[in-house]
């Protein structure tokens, strides 16, 4: 079973961009890796700029996203995954205007051209574009602010997400 997550980074204009990660999204997994290996906002931006959904997050200093089918030497001597692995060849990116839009899963999906993705349907006799919204099956949402500090929102028992709190508060317990 996978613990899915979304990893957002604040942009200079105050908006947020994101990538999806399919596995180990819990705080002791992806959260700890972000805290320990992704403090540098430039490194996080390089990861997001790939616009690829991840199956797992790796710890290499150079951001590399590779296809798992290449059968790479996956683990380093400490047992950590070295590379980020892509889920598939599809290119997508999530964008949000603020933390509340992220927390309530109202962020938007963009395609490889930066255009809003969605579908068309007829509503009240009119052809209407309906944008794809964020995935509510993410139990954890991570945000890196411009300062480099990481924040996390976790799913409550009622299915809603908590307010964002500094990630280090969870890891120092």
Is-contact 140 3, C-beta < 8 A? yes
The whole-angstrom separation of Cα 94 and Cα 17 is 6
Residue pLDDT, tens place only, 58-85 = 776 666 665 555 555 666 666 666 555 5
pLDDT at 137 over 80: no
What's the pLDDT at 133?
A: 79
Average pLDDT, rounded, for the chain:
82
Read off the pLDDT of residues 86-97 as tens digits, 9 standing for 90 and up: 656 667 788 999
How far is the C-alpha of 142 from the C-alpha of 145, rounded, in Å? Answer: 10
Which tokens hold the place of 24?
């180990």
When pLDDT is cut at 50, 70 and 90, the band that residue 112 belongs to is confident
Residues of the chain with pLDDT > 90: what percent? 30
In this prediction, residue 164 has a pLDDT band, given cuts at 50, 70 and 90, of: very high
Cα–Cα distance, 52 to 165 (Å, whole number):
26
pTM, to two decimals: 0.82
pLDDT at 154 over 90: yes
């Amino acid at each position: 079973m996978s613990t899915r997550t979304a990893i957002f980074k604040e942009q200079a204009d105050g908006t947020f961009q994101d990538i999806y990660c399919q596995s180990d999204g819990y705080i002791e997994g992806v959260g700890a890796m972000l805290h320990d290996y992704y403090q540098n906002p430039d490194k996080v931006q390089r990861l997001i700029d790939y616009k690829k959904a991840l199956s797992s997050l790796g710890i290499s200093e150079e951001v590399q996203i590779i296809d798992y089918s290449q059968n790479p030497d996956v683990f380093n001597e400490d047992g950590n995954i070295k590379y980020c692995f892509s889920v598939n060849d599809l290119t997508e990116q999530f964008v949000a205007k603020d933390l509340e839009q992220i927390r309530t899963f109202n962020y938007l999906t963009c395609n490889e051209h930066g255009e809003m993705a969605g579908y068309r349907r007829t509503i009240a006799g009119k052809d209407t574009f309906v944008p794809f919204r964020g995935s509510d099956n993410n139990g954890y949402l991570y945000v890196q602010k411009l300062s480099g500090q990481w924040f996390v929102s976790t799913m409550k028992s009622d299915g809603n997400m908590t307010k964002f709190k500094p990630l280090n508060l969870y890891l120092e317990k």
